[in-house]
Amino acid sequence: MNPMRWIAAHPIKWAFALAILIVALALPLFVNSAERTIKYTVDKIAEAFDIRPRVMVDNITVIEPGHEVREWIVFKNDSIQNLEWKHTWWGSEKIIKPRGTFTASYGFDLKASAFIVNFNSKNQTVDVSFPPAKLLAFEMTDFKTEYEQNGWWNHMSKEERDQVINELRNQAKHIAENNKLAIKEAERVMENQIHAVIQSAGTKPGVINFSSPTPLPATP
């Protein structure tokens, strides 16, 4: 039978067969394109953060992470702390009031296993999970004694001065560790950074999550 006559006689069958042929030809191209997009995006992320994350597609692990650990500082906050220390012995009182300036550095302990990039095939977005932001470094950048008074027979010793400085540092560090505004700011900065990297790869950012890692599905 003449093929043209057959097509004319069976238009529905012909359309169905043509659709199957198009899908069969296009599917490998689509898969290869998706693989290239994933690889390119992951390479951009690994380059930006100097660590290769766990890679997932629709919450299924496809590439296991490495064993790298990186401290990624994204935000620094300066603060001034004061302390008043007194000691009385036999009616003789000594006082010291130190003042310190501190720099707190906030960011992420980027263990590869807790740094997860998930490609969502349904809406074509890239979700990223980070561990929670936290205080990574803390240092005293300036110190001075605002006021010091010795008692008549109760003088300040070097050991006591060192103790007061340590108390001031510990007080300031405790405040920095519990500074929720600074931690939120670190997460905001990181979210902007990962958005920029994902967009530079030509993909669309999805949900950016900051939480402790949870058990993940095994690699299929």
Q: Which domain holds residue 179?
A: 3-210
Give pLDDT, residue 36.
77
Closest CA to 129 of 147, 156, 103, 111: 111
Would you write out the chain's pLDDT as a tens digit for each of its 220 residues? 444 454 445 455 444 444 454 444 333 433 456 677 788 888 888 888 888 888 888 888 888 877 777 889 999 999 999 999 888 878 788 888 999 999 999 999 887 668 899 998 888 899 999 999 999 999 999 999 888 887 677 788 889 889 999 999 999 999 999 999 999 999 999 999 999 999 998 889 999 999 865 544 444 4
Whether the Cβ atoms of residue 57 and residue 121 lie closer than 8 Å to each other = yes
| pLDDT value of position 7 | 43
103 inside domain: yes
- The domain total for the chain is 1
Is residue 201 situated within a structural domain?
yes
Alpha helices in the chain (DSSP H): 3-9, 11-49, 158-177, 180-200
Distance of alpha carbon 51 from alpha carbon 46, whole angstroms? 5
- Rounded Cα distance between 205 and 185, Å, is 19
151 contacts 94 by C-beta, under 8 angstroms: yes
**C-alpha–C-alpha distance, residues 128 and 116, integer Å:** 6
pLDDT score for 86: 82
The 8 Å CB, 24+ separation contacts for 50-53 are 51/110, 51/112, 51/115, 52/112, 53/112, 53/115, 53/116, 53/117, 53/128
Q: Write down the pLDDT at residue 165.
A: 92
User: Strand 54-57 vs strand 69-82: parallel, antiparallel, or unpaired?
Assistant: unpaired
pLDDT, residue 213, reads 53
Q: Are 131 and 87 in contact (CB under 8 A)?
A: no
CA distance 90 to 92: 6
Pull the structure tokens for residue 193: 């950074």
The torsion of the CA quartet 55, 196, 183, 142, rounded to 10 degrees, works out to 120
Q: Residue type at 193? A: Q
pTM: 0.75
Indicate the pairing of strand 54-57 with strand 60-63: antiparallel
Q: Does a structural domain hold residue 51?
A: yes
Asked if residue 218 is part of any domain, the answer here is no
Cα angle 31, 27, 24 (rounded to 5 degrees) comes to: 155
Residue 154 lies inside a defined structural domain of this protein = yes
